[in-house]
Structure 1
Amino acid sequence: MNPLLAILHRFSPLSPSAQEALLQIIQYKEFPNKTELLPIGKVARNLYFIQRGLGRVYYYKDEVDVTDYFAQDNQFIGAVSSLFTGQPSRKGIQLLEPSQVYYLAYQDFVQLGAQYSDIERAGGRLAIFAFLEAQTRLESIQFLSAQERYQELNQQYPGLLNRAPLKHVASYLGITQVSLSRIRAQV
């Protein structure tokens, strides 16, 4: 089964006809390292699923590159706010390694949701999942120490520290690279 389709099916079971309809809109492409799936300031049109590889959502604050989210093997990545509102994104999506990516146009997905209630239900559950991920991230920043955020990162993204540049990991944790080195030495 197509990996993106399989994940959607896990969110909510899909009928054979809904699966067939989704297969018509799901695309696949292999992208090189440093590909910008979404440049900052552009409107997001696609929802991405990284089958194999690594990506990040990032933005600039006071001319500093800040990583907001990572996605690696078998995870979704997208600029959710821009997808839902149709407004230009304040965040970009960049691949940090060569990646195998499945994607679909969000508007095509919405149209299929209007035709198939099971697709609409899967989309709703995917949106709830995205909301909960964002909420967890926000609470992590608000309530956890840098060392606790580091430990949470290791649990949520196994092997990430061997794959992502440490400057991106440090910015994701909201600390400097020097602080990250100290935390790593303690662990």
Structure 2
Amino acid sequence: MRAVDAIRARFHASAHIPAPLAGDADHALAGDVPVPAAVLVAITDRPEPGLLLTRRNEALRKHPGQIAFAGGRADPTDTGPVDTALREACEEIGMPRDLVSVIGCDAPYRTITNFSIVPVVAVVPPDLPLVPLEFEVADIFEVPLAHVLDPANQIQAEAEFRGSMRRFYEIMWQDRRIWGATAAMIVNLSRRIGA
């Protein structure tokens, strides 16, 4: 059995999924309505699968230089989270929609910036000639899936935000710091597929 087939089977066979990290709803401003969004959690089809991530452009006003999945806010014309994730991944990194095999949607994650993000988990061919949308994406890279899904590499940290302490996860890989919502969605996937 291919590694990605085993991941697909575990994703759908999870009868007792541990409660996912829900996000930062408790830090949102009162009355804020979350903005729908989706990201593509693209797993590369290799004997040892990888996970595609981006580094946001340093010139961006929000979250400059941070590690993220390709994705973003839903458009009114999107038919749902899968459509949003595929459209955004095509726009941001040139991911061909017809080469994405969707496994399913994981639990939504609420961010401090008031987005309700649906992670769309999918398998993609390895070594695609992806091209970053320079205004938004500075770099596209692949991390070993086993590394980021390993709970030993998912470190809890905390920082003060709006007068109270906020806990979050961070995952280091080489010189890259994956943290916040991206790390939390990886932790949720790890818990779901029992990595």
> How high is the TM-score relative to the length of structure 2?
0.31
Q: Choose 1 or 2 for highest CA Rg.
A: 1
Relative to its length, the structure with more helix (as a share) is 1
Give 1 or 2: higher strand fraction: 2
